């Protein structure tokens, strides 16, 4: 009896594990169907969730293709096993959103060796032979930095909010800011630069402390919108009469609303739609035997008060704003 | 006479340093931080620190009760996020601050009752039971929001961003919760039972204490604190963040342990926890005021935690040793 119970428990947990895969699109009735395994970095990360949804929607435009989504849960070892499983289950192509550029190289190479095509999206693996679609993080910073060069006053006090330590996107965006802003504006003084791990609450707490030490801060340079929004919340809480110039990256619903309201200055959109469109097209081209150019980059769109309405509408359509 | 007086003074000092060692550490930090940065010792900055620590400290009080009884709650951060998210959602649906607040607290209690049930009914180690809840609650928060943040909270922000007579609301809530915890631990049967269970569970059971019922109550109360913290957190950051509070359970435990709560159970106080939270708050704040680099901050924090706890344990051991010595002497006399 005990054994049966244990077996049932094993079966139950196994079925729970496999149900991590979801969102299967129906197969067309005739002809060859291409099966794509989409492996998301982490469904818990709001951008990755948006990208996964966008990929599923995009694949629906190709009647001969279907996609299954797997959640990598921010774990390199889990992503590796998703890749291995996709090979075993004979998927035609793996569309991968890498978590770590180095950690995924080996499993990706194994998959290619086993005859499964691999495309990466939104980050790359350290192997130039793997077709890739990506956003250029330096350019994402550049569009904001070029605006800041003109806007930030002389001898301004600036604070910088960083993503997690060693994160490629955070580091590259910071590099873009250095090249297109800090190197050209030697008069500007960075009075604080800390890691806030992409989080709103951590950005808020750092800004509260900076306001205590430095009083009025002229500009906030943030590597993403969440941290910038948190810093602005701290400015509001300090009772300041005006908001500092504030720059982010991502183009979240909140940032668009804040830009429209004049609280935030600008951000650049990393569009999951564009990433999905390009990467699914690339995948389909590869499956149907066409030649593809790689890597392909989506362009970062600058969002300012002038065009914020357009992006607010986009977020409304996505259901991010009611 | 003079000899006697100096003996008394020494005895008094040793009592002061052993019993109140943690308060002395806090005082020393206050002085050192004030010397290090002119921005530190100002009403504005102290209120700023209190506001920053308030949410994890509220969770700390619940954690302290659990640790005293030999329990633990690893799910605090996740449950806080889930409670906060659902509270925000209910507010957006109903527009009622009261219903939103109650929802948050009820969700906190419900999640912790499930953990408590698994612990007491199936004798699962609290570490495992709450680890499971940690994953499940986070999953539920992400599932509900589809991984996206919830924005446009309107009036909801008054819980976390408002103030009463110039004191930030979360700080007032923290003070109330600290008084509640102090009262529960010192003046109720429930509190005495927590210490008894943490000290020796079998002995507690043998003396007629309803161990399981007390444990469930402890989880429920700490769940209510966690739920309340979730409401305050979302309100403070003006967003419903499904990824909120990752690692908060460890911040809560840190404050508790620095404040003298013992992981072996049976020892801990509400005031100690509050002081522990302020020590961590001062530390985080002064490092940012001084502009210390992020990586270095983590190392310094680890170092200070070890020093504070080691000093506290050493001074307590001295006290126990001297008491034991007294007993031995008395034994010889008899």
Q: How far is B316 from chain A (nearest CA, A)?
A: 35
Q: Which of A269, A287, A310 is the last residue of a domain?
A: A269
* CB-based burial label for A81 (10 Å; 0-12, 13-18, 19+): middle
For the record, the structure tokens of A18 come out as: 């496999």
Asked if A78 is an interface residue toward chain B (Cβ–Cβ < 8 A), one would say: no
H runs (alpha helix) in chain B: 2-19, 21-36, 43-68, 76-94, 97-122, 126-145, 158-161, 169-187, 189-199, 201-206, 211-237, 248-258, 270-289, 294-333
Residue A284 lies in a domain: no
DSSP string over B180-205: HHHHHHHHSHHHHHHHHHHH-HHHHH
**Cα(B318)–Cα(B14) distance, rounded to whole angstroms?**
9
Task: Flag whether pLDDT at B134 surpasses 80.
Answer: yes
CA angle, A210 then A139 then A45, to 5°:
65
Question: Count of CB contacts below 8 A, A vs B?
Answer: 88
For A246, the enclosing helix (H) or strand (E) is strand A245-247
CA distances from B58 to A45, B66, B141, B241, B270 (A): 27, 13, 21, 19, 11
Same-domain status, A256 and A230: yes
- Rounded Cα gap, residues A275 and A134, in angstroms: 7
Helix (H) / strand (E) element for A133: namely strand A132-135
Q: Do A43 and B147 touch (CB under 8 A)?
A: yes
The predicted structure's pLDDT at residue A45:
72
Q: CB burial class (10 A; 0-12, 13-18, 19+) of residue A13?
A: exposed
Report yes or no: A158 at the B interface, CB cutoff 8 Å.
no
Q: What is the mean pLDDT of residues B4-12?
A: 74
State which residues form the domain around A209.
137-269
pLDDT, residue B269, reads 94
A230 has a chain B CB within 8 A of its CB: yes
Asked whether residue A38 falls in the same domain as residue A158, the answer is no
Tell me the nearest-neighbour CA distance from A140 into chain B, angstroms.
21
CB contact under 8 A, A191 and B291: yes
ipTM, two decimals, is: 0.80
Distance from CA of B39 to the nearest CA of A (A): 5
Give how far the C-alpha of residue A131 lies from the chain's centroid of Cα atoms, to the nearest Å: 18
Question: Checking DSSP bridges between strand A219-222 and strand A245-247, what pairing results, if any?
Answer: parallel
Closest CA of chain B from A281, distance in Å: 25
Q: Nearest residue on chain B to A202, judged by CA atoms?
A: B237
Average pLDDT value for residue range A14-31: 48
State how far Cα B177 lies from the chain centre. 10
Cβ(B224)–Cβ(B108) under 8 Å? yes
Q: How open is the CA angle A270-A276-A277, to the nearest 5 degrees? A: 105
Last residue of a domain, one of A130, A149, A168: A130
Residue A122 has pLDDT above 70, yes or no: yes
Residue whose C-alpha is closest to residue B225's, from B75, B57, B99: B57
- Residue range B252-262: average pLDDT? 92
- Looking at the fold, whether A126 and A149 belong to one and the same domain comes out as no
B135 has a chain A CB within 8 A of its CB:
no
* B44 in A contact zone (CB under 8 Å): yes
Count up the domains in chain B and report the number. 1
Give residue-wise pLDDT tens across range A202-256. 999 999 999 999 999 999 999 999 999 999 999 999 988 899 999 999 998 899 9
B152 to chain A, any CB pair closer than 8 A? The answer is yes
Q: How far is CA B195 from CA A253, B34, B140, B198, B253, in A?
A: 49, 37, 34, 5, 17
pLDDT at residue B329, as a whole number: 52
Q: How far is B283 from chain A (nearest CA, A)?
A: 12
B37, part of any domain:
no
Q: Given B52, B151, B152, which is nearest A208 (Cβ)? A: B52
Q: What percent of chain A has pLDDT over 90?
A: 71
Question: Which two three-digit tokens encode residue A50?
Answer: 């948006």
pLDDT at B306: 86
Q: Is residue A4 part of a domain?
A: no
Q: Is A216 inside any structural domain?
A: yes
The pTM of this model reads 0.81
Note whether A110 and A230 are same-domain residues. Answer: no
What is the token pair recorded at B219?
């989880």
What value does the mean pLDDT take over residues B16-37? Answer: 86
Mean predicted lDDT score pLDDT of chain B: 90
Instruction: State residue A16's pLDDT score.
Output: 47
Question: Contacts of residue B291 in chain A, CB cutoff 8 Å?
Answer: 191-192, 213
If you average pLDDT over residues B72-88, what whole number do you get?
Answer: 97
What pLDDT, on a 0 to 100 scale, did the predictor assign at position B327?
52
Which of B142, B285, B289 has the CB atom closest to A44's CB atom?
B142
Nearest to B169 by CA among B44, B45, B50, B43: B50
Are residues A166 and A110 located together in one domain of the fold? no
Both A76 and A168 in a single domain? no
Question: Of A143, A138, A119, which Cα lies nearest the Cα of A65?
Answer: A119
Cα–Cα distance, A130 to A113 (Å, whole number): 12
**Domains identified in chain A, total number:** 2
By the 8 A CB rule, do A287 and A130 touch? no
Q: Are residues A225 and A149 in the same domain?
A: yes
Nearest CA-CA distance, residue A163 and chain B, Å = 11
Q: Are residues A36 and A147 in the same domain?
A: no
Q: Best mutation site among A205, A226, A231 for testing chain B: the one with the most B CBs within 10 Å?
A: A205
For residue A286, the model assigns a pLDDT of 95
CA distance A133 to A203: 30
pLDDT at residue A20, as a whole number: 45
- Which tokens in the block code for residue A191? 């009075």
Within a domain: residue B77? yes
B147 touching chain A per CB within 8 A: yes
Give the CATH number, domain containing residue A245.
Answer: 3.40.50.2300
Does the pLDDT at position A28 exceed 70? no
- A265 and A141 within one domain: yes
* A12 close to A4: Cβ distance less than 8 angstroms: no
CB contact under 8 A, B42 and A195: no
Cβ of B291 within 8 Å of Cβ of A50? The answer is: no
**What is the model's pLDDT at position B318?**
63
Distance in angstroms (rounded) separating the CA atoms of residues A235 and A224? 17
Indicate which CATH number applies to the domain containing B264.
Answer: 1.10.3470
> Do A116 and A144 belong to one domain?
no
Q: Among A101, A130, A159, which residue terminates a domain?
A: A130
Do A44 and A148 share a structural domain? no
Nearest to A230 among B39, B48, B237 (CB): B237
Domain limits for position B130:
49-311
- pLDDT of residue B313 exceeding 80: no
CB contact under 8 A, B48 and A208: yes
Token pair recorded at residue A110: 């194994």
């Amino acid at each position: 009896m005990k054994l049966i119970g244990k077996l049932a428990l094993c079966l139950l947990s196994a079925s729970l594990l496999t149900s991590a895969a979801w969102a299967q699109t129906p197969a067309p009735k005739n002809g060859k169907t291409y099966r794509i395994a989409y492996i998301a970095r982490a469904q818990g990360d709001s951008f990755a969730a948006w990208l996964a949804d966008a990929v599923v929607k995009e694949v629906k435009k190709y009647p001969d293709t279907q996609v299954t989504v797997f959640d990598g849960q921010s774990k390199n070892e889990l992503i590796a096993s998703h890749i291995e499983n996709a090979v075993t289950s004979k998927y035609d192509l793996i569309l991968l959103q890498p978590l770590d550029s180095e950690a995924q190289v080996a499993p990706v190479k194994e998959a290619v060796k086993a005859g499964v095509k691999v495309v990466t999206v939104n980050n790359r693996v350290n192997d130039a032979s793997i077709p890739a679609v990506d956003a250029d993080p330096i350019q994402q910073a550049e569009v904001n930095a070029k605006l800041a060069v003109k806007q930030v006053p002389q001898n301004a006090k600036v604070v910088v909010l960083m993503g997690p330590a060693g994160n490629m996107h955070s580091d590259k965006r910071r590099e873009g800011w250095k090249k297109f802003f800090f190197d050209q504006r030697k008069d500007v003084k960075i009075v604080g630069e800390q890691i806030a791990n992409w989080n709103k609450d951590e950005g808020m707490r750092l800004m509260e402390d900076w306001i205590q030490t430095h009083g009025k801060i002229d500009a906030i340079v943030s590597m993403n919108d969440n941290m910038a929004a948190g810093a602005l919340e701290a400015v509001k809480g300090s009772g300041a009469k005006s908001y500092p110039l504030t720059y982010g990256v991502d183009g979240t619903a909140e940032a668009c609303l804040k830009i429209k309201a004049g609280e935030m200055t600008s951000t650049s959109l990393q569009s999951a739609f564009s990433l999905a469109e390009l990467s699914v097209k690339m995948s389909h081209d590869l499956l149907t035997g066409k030649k593809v150019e790689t890597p392909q980059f989506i362009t970062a769109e600058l969002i300012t008060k002038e065009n914020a309405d357009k992006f607010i509408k986009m977020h409304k359509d996505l259901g991010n704003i009611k | 006479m003079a000899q006697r007086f100096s003996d008394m003074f020494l005895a008094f000092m040793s009592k002061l340093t052993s019993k109140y060692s943690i308060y002395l550490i806090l005082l020393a930090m206050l002085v050192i931080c004030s010397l290090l940065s002119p921005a530190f010792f100002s009403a504005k900055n102290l209120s700023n620190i209190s506001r920053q620590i308030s949410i994890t400290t509220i969770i700390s009080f619940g954690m302290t009760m659990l640790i005293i009884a030999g329990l633990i709650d690893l799910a605090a951060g996740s449950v806080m996020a889930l409670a906060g998210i659902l509270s925000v959602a209910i507010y957006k649906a109903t527009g009622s601050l009261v219903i939103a607040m109650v929802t948050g607290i009820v969700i906190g209690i419900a999640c912790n009752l499930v953990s408590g049930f698994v612990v007491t009914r199936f004798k699962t180690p609290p570490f495992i039971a709450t680890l499971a809840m940690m994953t499940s609650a986070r999953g539920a928060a992400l599932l509900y929001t589809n991984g996206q943040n919830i924005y446009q909270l309107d009036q909801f922000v008054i819980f976390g961003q408002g103030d009463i007579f110039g004191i930030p609301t979360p700080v007032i809530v923290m003070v109330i919760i600290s008084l509640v915890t102090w009262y529960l631990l010192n003046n109720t049967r429930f509190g005495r039972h927590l210490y008894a269970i943490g000290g020796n569970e079998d002995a507690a059971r043998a003396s007629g204490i309803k161990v399981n019922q007390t444990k469930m109550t402890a989880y429920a109360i700490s769940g209510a604190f966690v739920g309340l913290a979730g409401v305050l957190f979302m309100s403070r950051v003006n967003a419903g963040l499904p990824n909120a509070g990752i690692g908060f359970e460890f911040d809560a435990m840190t404050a508790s342990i620095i404040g003298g709560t013992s992981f072996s159970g049976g020892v801990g106080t509400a005031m100690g926890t509050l002081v522990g939270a302020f020590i961590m708050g001062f530390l985080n704040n002064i490092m940012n005021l001084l502009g210390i680099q992020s990586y270095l901050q983590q190392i310094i924090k680890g170092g200070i935690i070890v020093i504070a706890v080691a000093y506290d344990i050493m001074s307590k051991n001295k006290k126990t040793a001297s008491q034991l010595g007294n007993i031995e002497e008395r034994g010889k006399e008899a």
